[in-house]
Amino acid sequence: MKHETRWSIRTADTIVSQAGSDSLHPEIEKRWAYVPGMMLMAIARTGEYYELDSYYEFMKRHMDLFVKEDGSIRGYRVEEYNLDQINQGKNLFKLIERTGDSRYEQAAHSLAVQLIGQPRTTEGGFWHKKIYPFQMWLDGLYMSSPFLAQYAKTFDRPDLFDEVALQLLLVERKTRDSRTGLLYHGWDEAVEQNWANPKTGCSQNFWSRAMGWYAMALVDSLEHLPADHPKRGTIIGIFERMCGALARVQEQVSGLWFQVLDQGFREGNYLETSGSSMFIYALAKGARLQYLEKPARKVAEKAFVGLLDRFVEANNSGVHLHSICHGAGLSTDRDGTYGYYIREKIVSDSHIGVAPFLLACLEMEKL
């Protein structure tokens, strides 16, 4: 049972089945946000691949709760300048393609306006949020870069491909540790935050999900970047190099990755499934699209088997995922220490883990 195919459909069905009589999911309908957006995208992609139109309709119903007739987005303010708020907008492109409705185009334009005006570091890097001045977080690259790359392709804005490349390359240069090849969670150019290294401005540890966000940002942005873009080869090169670093810290028995990537079985550390799912997704998609060389596929396959064996449960109520870090960030009370990352709550079935798991399942099935 554990290794039968189409885990993606079984997982998507589990989420869809939780919708009420009005076919709306109580968690996804709450607000416009990055986790609901990722879940809707994962379900819609599964529907597209397996020609299950009900999954697309599920995504559309929830998007229509927020995108108004004039194209404005309920609960969204451009002036917040929050990269997390871009992520749900990735679903707009499928709606534009399938409906031709101008309100979805207008909503996409509104999100692009935010990114064009986003506050920046001195070298042009997007601040993660207005309230986090001069800070770049790996999370933010996933929220914004694939959206902007697809927007550039959809609306013929080649200048914005340059913007995507700038963001992806800059954050990697600022956060990469030359010894391990891993990327720190965040970087504070102003070196004002309590979590920032006084010399480099980087946070202290390599958090699994942060690097997972960035790995997905690379592979999803590359899918839209033109083959002749002058930075495309460099982006593929840093993707390959980063995946080599991830392979070196892969736990050899399970094939999974730890919450704090380079700390192994240090007391309190644990195999974490949201980050592991993101790495599986990025490695599998990178191998499928031939951005990555042969070892990537084997790394992804080993991890996927380990994930299913250890942390995935299927029963009458559907598919369940365990060992998910509920949330982590960087702020005055979230100091980026090892102790901080391992103290964050560990949960089951949170969408922050289930959505990337669904994406990973789909990519493994495509392989």
Active site members: 139
Cβ-contact 90, 97 below 8 angstroms? no
Q: How far apart are CA 14 and CA 333, in angstroms?
A: 35
Q: How far apart are CA 362 and CA 55, in angstroms?
A: 14
Cβ-contact 10, 28 below 8 angstroms? no
Which segments of the chain are extended strands (E)? 135-137, 186-188, 312-315, 318-321, 324-325, 346-347
Which tokens hold the place of 195?
A: 């979590």
Query: Using only C-alpha atoms, what is the Rg of the chain?
Result: 19
Which tokens hold the place of 105?
A: 């185009």
Give, as one character, the DSSP assignment of residue 314.
E
The values of phi and psi at residue 129, to 5°, are -150, 160
The values of phi and psi at residue 229, to 5°, are -70, 135
Mapping DSSP onto H, E and C, the string for 131-152 reads CCCCEEEHHHHHHHHHHHHHHH
Q: Which of 71, 67, 70, 74 is nearest to 31 (CA)?
A: 74
Cβ-contact 247, 212 below 8 angstroms? no
Which amino acid does the sequence have at 306?
G
Q: How far apart are CA 206 and CA 67, in angstroms?
A: 36
